[in-house]
Structure formats: structure tokens, C-alpha cells
Amino acid sequence: MIDTHCHLYSVENPLEAARAPGLNALVVIGHTPDYARDALKLSRELEQVFVTVGLHPCDANLFSTETKTDLEELMLQPKVVGIGESGIDYYWDAAPKNLQLESLNWQLECARKLDKPIVIHTRDKDNSRQAFADCAVELKNAGWNKGILHCFAGDNGLLETGLELGFHVSFAGNLTYKNAQVIRDAAAIVPLERLLVETDAPYLAPMPYRGKRNTPAYVRFTLEKLAEIRGLSFEELERVTESNSRLVYQISQD
Ligand SMILES: [Zn+2]
């Protein structure tokens, strides 16, 4: 199994969490310069840890010339396999829209320049679909073809744009929640070769651990649910999603 998206620094014992049995690799998200440095440190300690470097839309207030210089340097470090997470977040309203958009577009440029996938986060307020719609417009305009719609929440417009561009789609623990039929409907139609799984640990623990602290080993429960939705065996879906993860992040077998 590969956990394609986790925030391991905030798990009590990151070394132990990363060494969970059956976990062949994990991608730790460095979504500010400081978190990226932490993630890179962990990647030097553990072979199976890979890293993304970027700026989360909720941290877009940090977006400045200095931050860009800092992140650009970090993006060149060994074991960096992706850019982000970036995207649009109107749920927390933590940073103004113009900064979120500027930061996203800059990270899309970086991804293109470095030939790496961009990791996209989108979250809306109430039942508005504005973040999905705004994000789809930016992705379409940029036209970069390597990326991941992370923790996909099931928006048809964004899904269509992502798939057309060539993006992968990653499902998290909320796929297993009772009220998440919209997410399961999306998981049923994403082409098999674009499917990924993640934990987004320490958030969003899957059933039966909902509400508890999440950890990369729990990616198993999301895989189980996804296998059920797709009518495949656990082993088969594990093989497919692991190979998709290695392809999109360019993580070799040895
Ligand atoms: Zn995340």
C-alpha cells in the first residue's frame, strides 16, 4: 500500500507511523516552508518517505517573494516528488481569494518547470460549489497535465476538468462515511488507472476509527471500501493503486 497524502509531522511518533506493516511508501505533504523542512528531514531518516513542497491555500497569507525563494530551493531537494498541496479553500476563509489564486498559479508554474505533479486541495463553504468551480478554471487555464485531486469530495465539474487534463484522483477516509454517497459515486466512475488512496492523516480517519487520530496504516480501510465500490479484490486494487501512485509521483520500485 502507498499512502499518497499525509501530514506525518503531527502524528505523535512519525517514525513508527511511517514504518507500519504493509505500507510500502508514503508521501508527506510539506505545505509551508517549515513543514516542508520537517518532511524532508523525515525523508532522510526513512527510505519509504517521499515529500511534496508547496503552500496550502489556507497558508496563502505567507505568499511572498521570500516564501517563493524559500520554497523554490526546497523543491529541488532529493525525494521531492510533487508540488503542493495548493488549491482553493473557502471553508476556513483563512486567506484572501486573490492570494490563494496567485499562489496556486505560481505552484502550477513550478510544477510545470520541474515536471512534477501538483497536489490540489479544494474545499467549499456550506453547499456552495465555488471553490471547485474557481479551481477548475485555473487548472484549465494553466493546462498542466500532471496532478492529483486530493481528498476528492465529488464535484463533477472539477472531476471532468481533472480527468481531461490527465490528473489522478485520490480518495481519503471520508469515502467510508455513511453520508458520503456523493464521494462513493465519484469513486465508482474514475478510470481505474487514475485512482489513488490516501489518509490525509492526522485528519479524516476512516471507519471504524472516525473521530480518532488518523495514521498512514489506516489507508487500508479506504482501500477496502474502494475495492468494494469497484467490485475488485483488495489485493487487486492494492496492486493497481500502488502502481498508479508510483507512476504519478515517479517513485521507483527499488
Ligand atoms: Zn493535506
Q: Please name each of the domains of the chain with its CATH number.
A: 2-249 (3.20.20.140)
Q: Please, what sign has the CA dihedral across residues 54, 55, 57, 60?
A: negative
What is the Å distance from ligand 1's center to 85 Cα?
6
Q: Mean pLDDT in the chain?
A: 96
The answer to whether 197 touches 226, Cβ cutoff 8 Å, is yes
What is the Å distance from ligand 1's center to 193 Cα?
22
Q: What is the pLDDT of residues 77-132, one digit of tens each?
A: 999 999 999 999 999 989 999 999 999 999 999 999 999 999 999 999 888 899 99
CA atoms of 220 and 13, how far apart (whole Å): 19
What is the Å distance from ligand 1's center to 29 Cα?
7
The answer to whether 122 touches 88, Cβ cutoff 8 Å, is yes
What is the Å distance from ligand 1's center to 4 Cα?
10
- The answer, yes or no, to whether residue 212 has pLDDT greater than 70, is yes
Q: What percent of the chain has pLDDT over 90?
A: 93
What is the Å distance from ligand 1's center to 237 Cα?
23
What is the Å distance from ligand 1's center to 150 Cα?
8
Mean pLDDT to the nearest integer, 213-226: 96
What is the β-pairing status of strands 25-30 and 2-6? parallel
pTM confidence score: 0.96
What is the Å distance from ligand 1's center to 20 Cα?
20
**What is the pLDDT, as a whole number, of residue 14?**
87
CA atoms of 58 and 32, how far apart (whole Å): 10
- The answer, yes or no, to whether residue 138 has pLDDT greater than 70, is yes
Residue 190: band (very low, low, confident or very high) from pLDDT cuts 50, 70, 90? very high
The answer to whether 144 touches 164, Cβ cutoff 8 Å, is no
CA atoms of 144 and 253, how far apart (whole Å): 26
Mean pLDDT to the nearest integer, 214-220: 96
What is the Å distance from ligand 1's center to 38 Cα?
15
CA atoms of 181 and 212, how far apart (whole Å): 22
**What is the pLDDT, as a whole number, of residue 142?**
98
Residue 13: band (very low, low, confident or very high) from pLDDT cuts 50, 70, 90? confident
What is the Å distance from ligand 1's center to 199 Cα?
9
CA 22 from chain centre, in angstroms, equals: 20
**What is the pLDDT, as a whole number, of residue 15?**
87
What is the Å distance from ligand 1's center to 129 Cα?
20
What is the Å distance from ligand 1's center to 59 Cα?
12
What's the start-to-end Cα distance of the chain, in Å? 15
What is the Å distance from ligand 1's center to 254 Cα?
26
The closest alpha carbon to 151, from 168, 165, 163, 134, belongs to 168
**What is the pLDDT, as a whole number, of residue 47?**
95
What is the Å distance from ligand 1's center to 66 Cα?
23
Q: What percent of the chain has pLDDT over 70?
A: 99
Which residue has cell 471500501?
225
CB atoms within 10 A of CB 109: 14
- The answer, yes or no, to whether residue 12 has pLDDT greater than 80, is no
- The answer, yes or no, to whether residue 254 has pLDDT greater than 80, is no
Phi-psi region of 211 (alpha: psi -120 to 50; beta: other; left: phi over 0): left
The answer to whether 57 touches 89, Cβ cutoff 8 Å, is yes
Q: Where are the alpha helices (DSSP H) in 115-254?
A: 130-142, 156-165, 181-189, 219-230, 234-249
CA 198 from chain centre, in angstroms, equals: 7
Q: What is the pLDDT of residues 24-59, one digit of tens each?
A: 999 999 999 999 999 999 999 999 999 999 999 999
What is the Å distance from ligand 1's center to 234 Cα?
25
**What is the pLDDT, as a whole number, of residue 253?**
83
**What is the pLDDT, as a whole number, of residue 127?**
82
Phi-psi region of 226 (alpha: psi -120 to 50; beta: other; left: phi over 0): alpha
Mean pLDDT to the nearest integer, 211-224: 96
What is the Å distance from ligand 1's center to 16 Cα?
20
What is the Å distance from ligand 1's center to 104 Cα?
15
The closest alpha carbon to 82, from 11, 141, 29, belongs to 29
Residue 11: band (very low, low, confident or very high) from pLDDT cuts 50, 70, 90? low
- The answer, yes or no, to whether residue 10 has pLDDT greater than 70, is no
**What is the pLDDT, as a whole number, of residue 252?**
93
Phi-psi region of 15 (alpha: psi -120 to 50; beta: other; left: phi over 0): alpha
H/E run at residue 168: strand 168-171
